[in-house]
Structure 1
């Protein structure tokens, strides 16, 4: 989104494939679109270039470290400690890397969209062009929403969000737009993706119609649009070929061995260590050093009958370890696909929206969704009902914590629910801070300092 970040990218990028060649910027901050996309067939490798620039794990990194589900290890030598202690500043690297990652991917998507316009009138290739446009718009929306979650607070129409980049212009100095404008653009892009992506295109490592609908449900939840959150979630639950994993399938889900119709709606495939080792957030793959243990408080929330406990956590040399992202069976430690949208989240979205709308008069449907999820996780589970909206919200927040642990939601959920972070004593022994009160400015991350320096129109978040 700015000149400094793209200059940095130009200095460090190594071209390794034709899809990279199509989309990487030249030293002049421009690309010869006529040569990059000479034929409609060039759109396919161009779209692969969009996906290749997308890391996908930024929300998991920051939400995990800043939330209350980890315990700092005495083997940690500085990895993520600022984020964990809430002492981060505008120069903190992990939020800056997400800004770069998202900006780079957005720019690539915009250049694919610009190229696709040249071939839009070619009826012979309409199906290909429409699919590529749908994928690019989905990725543009996904990346902007990640930026909103990171750098904006709870939804308020007039609050400052982020710039929404609708075209490639690396020399631009865009100002932050109102949240209402950004959310409208996100929704428009996702609705276009819904309409353009064919129902029989089901590669879960790429954007699909189901993924677009699922993301619309998540966006509606963050926007407090309960009716649409329910409608979009129900659409995926009722019409998608993907089903919720049962208790016997939880382990294979997190080692990438589950069937294609189980749980995952959108994933970032990772097949080589060079694409990133997700579990390295918690345990170093090289020597087994533990940077963060799973939180004692989180582990205590699971019963012995809950299949998730032995999948999400394990012990190595007597030490509690996060196991959820430790990798494929027999593969490189911590090398595993990043699961970005799952159907179980859709049940949780629908439950929350049902409990919140109509002053809590839809508690029965909310309980049905929570019971459905728990029955597929906990042996001999007994259904519950919600006697009040307050009880429902407490149970839904708890179930989101347990089901979606280490998937990039907890920190943002606490902010959305206007809750404080209070780490119990066992989880705060090595941390310099144990409490972050609801409404604290640090629930919204600072705009990276490089962006502030490069863009005269950029405004920093309060407190930084």
Structure 2
């Protein structure tokens, strides 16, 4: 029998478990003994044996510490850092107001971030496979016979399936041509449904087989959660029904399964009917432009407690803060003090209606001589820098040196509404798509203005229903999770900054170059791996 060493959360050896359960010798428990303990059905025992692993599943989406990245740049060691890099590789985000030689400049200047040898490529691969391995290590113990109808084991298995599906979809988004843009005929990923340190490497399955694998995991996870009575929970940092359905809707959007997108989006939106209001949509300055005060407590993008849209996120202390460090112009990292200001392309800014309060999430004029608290350095913050993620303080602190201590989110209901509208447009229901968009536009109408609709939004005149969804997705999801990059890839929209007034780099970049090559390490050590 294979012997394994069990760790609880935080790396603590499970000595107490073997003592409590009279299993000898301690820390040398067999797989079979573990499964027998799980089959006992005792919730305390199940929690003790498997709780640490199960509780770690959601945290892998909020992960920092990616190994083997081959770079000293800390952004490539966290999932939020990877997302920020994707943000820079598009049309809608302008990096600073002049050429900078700093982390992020290669990505913004659209230099090599896709080749097999690039150290800006491999972190995405290492992260996703680490998540798959983490999920499979737990799923090894949760076969159908062991799980049975035990609600706690059903919940734990669902968590593993959700994480594995999420990670495989992450690989497909990065390492293959978009499914509806030619990717359907290409290769997917090697499919591993169990963990063994000595198992043979596998060849790549087809893209269709890979997506079928992902959908099967998510469909099974949804069934298990429903049978276990785990629906839409109030705990934001867990894998509940909303998270599973969100990921499945996103996968279905990539693969053109419009009915599935609409069905699961409707279910989620029934549970999340409310949207952020004007008062908490981005940073609000209660000071002056030269001495601004923007409290994170009143910003729904930095404080989950005032954001009714959050489906999945993490509280203060658990939340990663790399995204805020890079997107917040008042931060003392690259996004602020080092002048890597994250600005909106003037072409998109000009398309936002003056009656749309989202326009106020960007500086209409430059703010002069902001003093950063640690060393007293001053910077002029340029026009069109975002206030969406801006704060001068940390949550619950009056000391500006604590700027950046915030919550974080990874999924919110506005994106669900946009996914639904796109699926309606793609399936030929243009009127339904516009009706869905009207819900978001009404929620984003500035107080005292006439309610915005698809019919009266100035920049949407003459657009198709799909083009209207695309525009509103660019506005609503600006700066979030690399969404523009992935959407451009999915919609076959190239990067073309030539006509922008405020882009520092005026490059173009074709969709054909948005697919990453398989990293060299994988090619070298897996003799069955085929390069893209």
Common fold: TM-score over 0.5: yes
- Tell which has more relative contact order, 1 or 2 (C-alpha 8 A, sep 6+): 1
> Quick check: 1:372 aligned with 2:395?
no
Equivalent residues of 1:106, 1:139 under 8 A apart: yes
Structure 2 counterpart of 1:163, from 185, 190, 193: 190
Residue of structure 2 in register with 1:108 after alignment = 134
Kindly provide the CA deviation profile for residues 419-451 of structure 1, in whole angstroms up to 9, marking residues without a partner as x.
22111343443x3x61123x42x1212222222
Q: CA 1:216/1:130 → structure 2, altered by over 3 Å: closer, same or farther?
A: same
Residue of structure 2 in register with 1:40 after alignment = 46
TM-score normalised by length of structure 2: 0.72
Q: CA 1:375/1:166 → structure 2, altered by over 3 Å: closer, same or farther?
A: same
Kindly provide the CA deviation profile for residues 81-102 of structure 1, in whole angstroms up to 9, marking residues without a partner as x.
2322232132333432122122
Matches of 2:46 and 2:249 in 1, distance apart? 32
3-state SS of paired residue (1:302):
coil
Matches of 1:202 and 1:458 in 2, distance apart? 42
Kindly provide the CA deviation profile for residues 201-220 of structure 1, in whole angstroms up to 9, marking residues without a partner as x.
44221111111112211111
> Quick check: 1:64 aligned with 2:87?
yes
Alignment of 1:313-462 (within 5 A): 315=367, 317-320=379-382, 321-326=385-390, 328-330=394-396, 332-357=402-427, 360=428, 362-379=429-446, 380=449, 381-385=451-455, 391-407=464-480, 408-423=482-497, 424-429=499-504, 431=505, 434-437=507-510, 439-440=511-512, 442-461=513-532
Residue of structure 1 in register with 2:108 after alignment = 84
3-state SS of paired residue (1:176):
coil
| 1:337, distance to aligned residue in structure 2 (A) | 3.8
Q: CA 1:318/1:225 → structure 2, altered by over 3 Å: closer, same or farther?
A: same
> Quick check: 1:255 aligned with 2:302?
yes
Aligned length: 427
Equivalent residues of 1:221, 1:229 under 8 A apart: yes
Equivalent residues of 1:22, 1:46 under 8 A apart: no
Equivalent residues of 1:276, 1:335 under 8 A apart: yes
Alignment of 1:276-295 (within 5 A): 276-282=321-327, 285-286=332-333, 288-295=337-344
Equivalent residues of 2:304, 2:310 under 8 A apart: no
Provide structure 2 residue ranges, at least 5 long, that are not aligned to the other structure: 1-6, 14-27, 38-44, 64-78, 283-298, 371-378
Equivalent residues of 1:43, 1:116 under 8 A apart: no
Comparing 140-149 and 58-67, the one that deviates more: 58-67
Residue of structure 2 in register with 1:95 after alignment = 121
Matches of 2:262 and 2:381 in 1, distance apart? 41
Residue of structure 2 in register with 1:174 after alignment = 202
Equivalent residues of 2:303, 2:406 under 8 A apart: yes
Matches of 1:233 and 1:385 in 2, distance apart? 24
Q: CA 1:205/1:455 → structure 2, altered by over 3 Å: closer, same or farther?
A: same
Equivalent residues of 2:278, 2:444 under 8 A apart: yes
3-state SS of paired residue (1:397):
helix
Residue of structure 1 in register with 2:376 after alignment = none
Matches of 1:128 and 1:369 in 2, distance apart? 37
Equivalent residues of 2:178, 2:489 under 8 A apart: yes
Matches of 1:382 and 1:248 in 2, distance apart? 18
3-state SS of paired residue (1:164):
coil
| 1:199, distance to aligned residue in structure 2 (A) | 1.5
Q: Which has the larger Rg?
A: 2
Matches of 2:414 and 2:442 in 1, distance apart? 12
Matches of 2:518 and 2:8 in 1, distance apart? 33
> Quick check: 1:151 aligned with 2:175?
yes
| 1:236, distance to aligned residue in structure 2 (A) | 1.2
CA RMSD of aligned residues (A): 3.2
> Quick check: 1:306 aligned with 2:356?
yes
Matches of 2:527 and 2:405 in 1, distance apart? 40
Kindly provide the CA deviation profile for residues 338-384 of structure 1, in whole angstroms up to 9, marking residues without a partner as x.
42221111111111111111xx3x21111111111111112223323
| 1:164, distance to aligned residue in structure 2 (A) | 2.8
TM-score normalised by length of structure 1: 0.82
Residue of structure 2 in register with 1:267 after alignment = 313
3-state SS of paired residue (2:517):
coil
Equivalent residues of 2:242, 2:268 under 8 A apart: yes
Equivalent residues of 1:242, 1:265 under 8 A apart: no
| 1:32, distance to aligned residue in structure 2 (A) | 6.7
| 1:330, distance to aligned residue in structure 2 (A) | 4.7
3-state SS of paired residue (1:452):
helix
Matches of 2:157 and 2:252 in 1, distance apart? 23
Equivalent residues of 1:364, 1:385 under 8 A apart: no
| 1:247, distance to aligned residue in structure 2 (A) | 2.5
Provide structure 1 residue ranges, at least 5 long, that are not aligned to the other structure: 1-16, 24-30
